[in-house]
């Protein structure tokens, strides 16, 4: 009896949540790899038995057939959370909802529902009303997150984790058409409302970033690949290439802010290289940053609240941009 309980408990842990699924042959291999030696007939009996107790479903609409937890399962059948963990998880959901694509949040919807169930069972008005006491207010002008297929996102996440090549259909904004690519996904970068897949492809010499929202179809999951020894996702991101790089170099900038526009930089620094000097009616900020387009957009967003002092090339560039912008209002 103990062996059967252990076997079935392991089996439940290996069944993914909808929309992912796992075939009986893959389940059998996974159990055997953990030293649980059973045959296919025993596995099939276990699955039928467990599906009468737990919300498990078999998808036999297309091959390969597979098992998954039902998309309607509220998570009540899984190991429970403590109230503090449930509150932390729901706070995370509240924080992510404004910026994360709906399809990505759906991948862990079962855990959110389970957290809600934990608080509901406590019958505590203080806990049930906690969401009315927390409001997430993102800074700046926020765009709505992109629509992303939860099934495509799930397949890409898994390919990143287990280092599997993917043959995909991807919409290219540059060529304005759908292209067929074979990629080696190396990592994920989340930037506000956008999610990017950093990968290698035989069609490109360098590492590339592809927007997750522009993947149209996963045509095939390929074999494993060896992770490049010279690649670091952290260094790739910090190089500024994700921010529409103008080169791999960094530049030192000196900016003069009005007190009103720049006072927040005394509390939330740009980075560790930042230094400042307080003047009677201004704040001088000196720092070294990535030389990219987002730096320009950030400076321009302050309007007349900032002046670029150095480097002269950046000062002249911002000056020219503002002169061109002014023309739109002088017509």
Domain ranges of the chain: 1-69, 83-133, 150-239, 247-330
Strand partners, 198: 187, 209
Q: Which residue has 């030389």 as its token pair?
A: 291
**What pLDDT is attached to residue 124?**
57
Stretch 129-147: mean pLDDT: 70
pLDDT interval class at 74 (50, 70, 90): very low
| DSSP per-residue letters across 163-205 | TEEEEEEEEETTTTEEEEEEEEEEEEEEETTEEEEEEEETT-S
pLDDT of 117 > 80? The answer is no
**What pLDDT is attached to residue 281?**
92
Question: Which is more confident, 118 or 41?
Answer: 41
Structure tokens belonging to residue 155: 């397949």
- Give the span between the Cα atoms of 199 and 271, in whole angstroms: 27
Which has the minimum average pLDDT: 98-107, 108-117, 268-277?
A: 98-107
pLDDT in tens, 287-313: 999 888 889 999 999 999 999 999 999
Cα 143 to chain centroid distance, Å, stands at 16
Q: What single-letter DSSP state applies at residue 271?
A: S
Q: Is 185 exposed, middle or buried (0-12, 13-18, 19+ CB in 10 A)?
A: buried
Looking at the chain, the whole-number percentage of residues with pLDDT higher than 70 is 82
| pTM for the whole structure | 0.57
Q: Which CATH architecture is the domain 1-69 placed in?
A: Orthogonal Bundle (1.10)
pLDDT of 116 > 60? The answer is yes
pLDDT of 218 > 70? The answer is yes
Question: Which is more confident, 237 or 46?
Answer: 46
Stretch 191-212: mean pLDDT: 86
Stretch 67-76: mean pLDDT: 66
**What pLDDT is attached to residue 247?**
57
- Give the span between the Cα atoms of 193 and 191, in whole angstroms: 6
**What pLDDT is attached to residue 192?**
72
- Give the span between the Cα atoms of 276 and 264, in whole angstroms: 12
Strands 282-292, 164-172: parallel, antiparallel or unpaired by DSSP? unpaired
């Amino acid at each position: 009896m103990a062996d059967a309980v252990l076997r079935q408990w392991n089996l439940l842990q290996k069944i993914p949540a909808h929309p992912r699924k796992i075939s009986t042959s893959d389940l059998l291999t996974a159990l055997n790899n953990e030293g649980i030696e059973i045959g296919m007939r025993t596995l099939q009996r276990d699955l039928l038995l467990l599906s009468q107790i737990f919300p498990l479903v078999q998808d036999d609409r297309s091959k390969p057939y597979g098992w998954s937890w039902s998309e309607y399962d509220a998570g009540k059948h899984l190991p429970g959370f403590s109230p503090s963990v449930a509150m932390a998880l729901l706070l995370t959901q509240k924080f992510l909802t404004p910026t994360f694509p709906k399809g990505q949040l759906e991948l862990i919807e079962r855990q959110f529902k389970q957290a809600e169930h934990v608080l509901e069972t406590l019958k505590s008005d203080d806990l049930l009303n906690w969401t009315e006491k927390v409001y997430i207010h993102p800074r700046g002008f926020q765009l709505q997150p992109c629509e992303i297929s939860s099934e495509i996102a799930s397949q890409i996440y898994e390919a990143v984790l287990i280092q599997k090549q993917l043959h995909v259909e991807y919409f290219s904004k540059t060529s304005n058409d759908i292209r067929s690519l074979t990629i080696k996904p190396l990592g994920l970068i989340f930037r506000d409302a956008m999610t990017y897949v950093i990968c290698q492809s035989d069609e490109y010499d360098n590492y590339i970033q592809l927007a997750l929202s522009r993947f149209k179809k996963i045509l095939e999951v390929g074999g494993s690949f060896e992770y490049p020894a010279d690649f670091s996702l952290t260094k790739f991101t910090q190089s500024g290439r994700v921010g529409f790089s103008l080169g791999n170099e960094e530049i030192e900038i000196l900016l003069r802010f009005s007190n009103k526009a720049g006072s927040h930089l005394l509390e939330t620094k740009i980075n560790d290289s930042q230094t400042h000097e307080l003047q009677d009616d201004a704040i001088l900020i000196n720092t070294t940053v990535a030389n990219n387009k987002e730096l320009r957009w950030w400076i321009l967003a302050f309007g007349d609240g900032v002046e670029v002092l150095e480097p002269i090339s950046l000062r002249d560039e911002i000056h020219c941009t503002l002169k061109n912008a002014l023309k739109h209002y002088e017509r």
